[in-house]
Structure 1
Amino acid sequence: MKDFDEVVDRKGTYCTQWDYIEDRFGEKDLLPFSISDMDFRSPETIVNALETRLRHGVFGYTRWNHDDYKQSISSWYQKRFSSTIQDEWIVYSPSVIYSISKMIGLLTDEMDHVIIQTPAYDAFYKTIQDNNRIISRNELIYQNGHYSIDFIDLAERLSHEKAKVLLLCSPHNPTGRVWTRIELEKIVALCNEHKVYIISDDIHMDIIYEGNSHIPIIDVMMDTSKVCICSSASKTFNIPGLGGSYLLIPDEQIRTQFLLALKNKDGLSSASILGIEATMTAYNDCEDWVDELVSYLHSNLQIIQDFLEEHLPSLHLTMPNSTYLAWIDVSQLPYSSEQLQAALVQHGKVAIMAGDTYGEGGKHFIRMNVGCPQSKVVEGLQRLKKAIEYLEQQRNN
């Protein structure tokens, strides 16, 4: 049984979330709930595998294109999602965002439209814009604490002559939605009708709460030549610093183009040996650890929901279907996003992401990373409460 309550001091490890919090929030020494990695140690099985590899002492150029690596991924999809994928679909990439950027470059021309469902992960905006493509925003419908897809608007955006790619986030960051089979089938039907390619970012696929099931979009497609999935073990097992991700690209021609770009254009064919070892060990030997992690994360979310109901009833958390990101509705507060963020940083001494980081549709939300011990969650909530109490005092004076 993993002790997720253990507090691990990450300061002084060049940690983005803890050591460089000032870069995003303007102040040091804040309690961070920001970037989406976790404060938990990775599974001991992974640590032991890495220690064994380190003791070997030689860290030369490393191949990823072998059965051990590919079969660890394909077996994971079979175990977790009852999804059968072919090993030849699997290709290595240094990161999911690199994969998305490179696929956009291969599949579209400058000024083509890339559709995203907003609010959306902030890196999507940057990647599309800096590839000189046009962001087409399919705003999700928010009603009674629940997000759904506006299929009428989606159909209209897909019908545009410049629409070439739908960048799907499945499960969705930041809202935590897990798309149902019916929703995915509608997406696929519309994209097929308008000949739009689907890039699916599935990096949060393993953190799924009871009553929900992640369905890889490949499983609902008759013709898999118009889809790829980008994912990684990094979010689930807290190993992003080791490097590495992968894609599932069924179409042989597109897969070849990607590999040529990876190796010949960008010179990235040699993988991180530690990232490869960690991924194989995670997928082969750490399934039970993931089940325990998901249970603990759900408890963290429940703590937040209960705390808000008791102490901050103007704030609301709808329990997400997935992810370790609490998407908290602050629309009932009589303060702007700027006022709330200033109070959180300057008076609460807590770093929680402003919802408008993820687009206009997120301006009445904050995003709180709960991938941490429950003691940190409770402390963060107390600081959130302190910040709001300060605002209320100022308003009443």
Structure 2
Amino acid sequence: MTMKYDFDKIIDRSGSGDLKHEVLAERYGRGDLLPLWVADMDFETPQFITDALRKRLEHSLYGYTIVPRNYWQTIAKWIEDHHQWRVEEQWMRFIPGIVKGIGFVINVFVKEDEKVIIQPPVYHPFRLTPEGNRRQVVYNPLRENADGSYSMDFDNLAEVADEKCRLLILSNPHNPAGITWDAETLRRLADFCSERNIIVISDEIHSDMAIFGNKHVPFASVSDAAAECSITFGAPSKTFNIAGIVSSWCIVPNERLRQPLFDWMAANELDEPHLFAPIATMAAFNEGEEWRQQMLAYVEQNILFVEDFLRKHLPQIKAVRPQASFLVWLDCRGLHLDHDALIDLFVNRVRLALNDGEMFGKEGKGFMRMNVATPRSVLKEALERLVLAAS
């Protein structure tokens, strides 16, 4: 009998040290906000993961451990089953977080006078990490289409990519707009980067969260050129709500990229998973498919609820429907508010904590990013507050 999971359950996160609630006063100027910002879910981490961790905790000796023998096979099987990409075990290594992985790649491959390309509006560490490592960031903004969707601007890419550009960071699926890039677009990007000796980091952390019949296409799977120029990052953390159990990996098919990166990580002991990462990952991938399907169905209904509510009560705000993930890109330009007034509306009048669209680049001006992975009653309260304040 299939278990029915309860995503309407309210989880009291107080006392757990969670980022979503604990930094509200520091980041938003007040602590009495309903937080729908950082990309973790308000759904309980599934019991089969907790049970696997608890079983290990019952053996009360936490010394040095090895990577379980079937760890990489489990990940490779999940990727092949879900995304039809066959990954060799020797291509894979643990990384202690995807943003850290970006920093590793920059330090190994990008000289101080070389540049990193990003495609805003995009996840802000794509900009902050190169800048923090004193590399210049080159902008290739996405083109906004008439229907609110986005496309890559290859004409602009050809203009901005000079001989100093060494790395392009791809968000696939895209955060914050939720795009599942199609194979043709990815092939074109691979050809462009391959011809110019540009490495592509493909951040695929939302890959298992394609919704509404959309399909994730791994960048490295679309062509030989893509495989040769790519470093792919993945993790179970968004899908199974275990971001606090850092359990990321990188996949590098090309040995000429793989050897320098893996050697550097090994020399600094940055490629060794902590005790709990393999346990949580293997439990998620061996037992989590039914939970994942039910969670995605609930998220879809939440997105439809947001769309319908705004259409009926606040049509000045349009929700850009994501093709993957639980993050909804809200186009608030119809409110005709400047940046400060928009933030004031959400924070001080509505008392909601969302992500300010401009943190993803100036192309995010007039947008807000809303995390809808929360019980529907919470979402309903948030939207009712918004309508009341904005009317």
TM-score computed with the length of structure 2 as normaliser:
0.96
Q: Which residue of 2 aligns with 1:394?
A: none
Residue 10 of structure 2 corresponds to residue 14 of structure 1: no
Secondary structure (helix, strand or coil) at the match of 1:317 reads strand
Unaligned residue ranges in structure 1 (runs of 5+) = 390-397
Q: CA offsets, 1:59-98, max 9 Å, x none?
A: 122333x531101110011111111111111100110111
1:253 Cα deviation from its structure 2 partner:
4.2
Q: When the two structures are aligned, how many residues end up with a matched partner?
A: 386
Q: Deviations over 1:247-303 (max 9, x none)?
A: 0012234333323332333x4344221122001111122112111111111111111
Q: 2:267 aligns with which of 264, 269, 287?
A: 264
Alignment correspondent of 1:71: 73
Mapped partners of 2:186, 2:267: distance in 1? 35
Deviations 1:287-341 (A, max 9, x none): 1211111111111111110010011011111211111111010111121121121
| Residues 161-170 or 283-292, more deviating | 283-292
Does the 8 Å contact 2:93/2:271 carry over to 1? no
1:59 maps to 2:62 = yes
Question: In the alignment, residue 361 of structure 2 is paired with which amino acid?
Answer: G
Q: Residue in 2 aligned with 1:246?
A: 249
Task: Give the distance between the partners of 2:165 and 2:137, measured in 1 at CA.
Answer: 10
Residues 269 and 180 of structure 1, relative CA distance in 2, 3 Å threshold: closer
State whether structure 2 residue 79 is matched by structure 1 residue 82: no
* Residues 1-397 of structure 1: pairs in structure 2 closer than 5 A: 1-64=4-67, 66-143=68-145, 144-158=147-161, 160-223=162-225, 224-265=227-268, 267-389=269-391
Whether the aligned pair in 1 keeps the contact of 2:11 and 2:44 (CA below 8 Å) is: yes
Seq. identity, %:
34
Unaligned runs of 5+ in 2: none
Kept in 1: contact 2:74–2:282 (CA 8 A): yes
Q: Distance in 2 between matches of 1:190 and 1:380?
A: 43
Secondary structure (helix, strand or coil) at the match of 1:92 reads: strand
RMSD: 1.4
Give the residue type in structure 2 aligned to 1:237.
F
Secondary structure at 2:328 match in 1: strand
How far did residue 211 of structure 1 move? Answer: 2.8
Normalising by the residue count of structure 1, what TM-score does the alignment of the two structures yield? 0.94
Q: SS at 2:224's partner residue?
A: coil
Q: Partner of 1:120: helix, strand, or coil?
A: coil
CA distance in 1, matches of 2:132, 2:52: 38
- Contact residue 340 and residue 388 of structure 1 kept, 8 A: no
Shift of 1:135: 1.0
Q: Give the superposition deviation at 1:388.
A: 1.7
Preserved contact between residue 177 and residue 322 of structure 1 (Cα < 8 Å): yes
Letter in 2 for 1:349: R
Cα distance, 1:229 vs. partner? Answer: 0.3
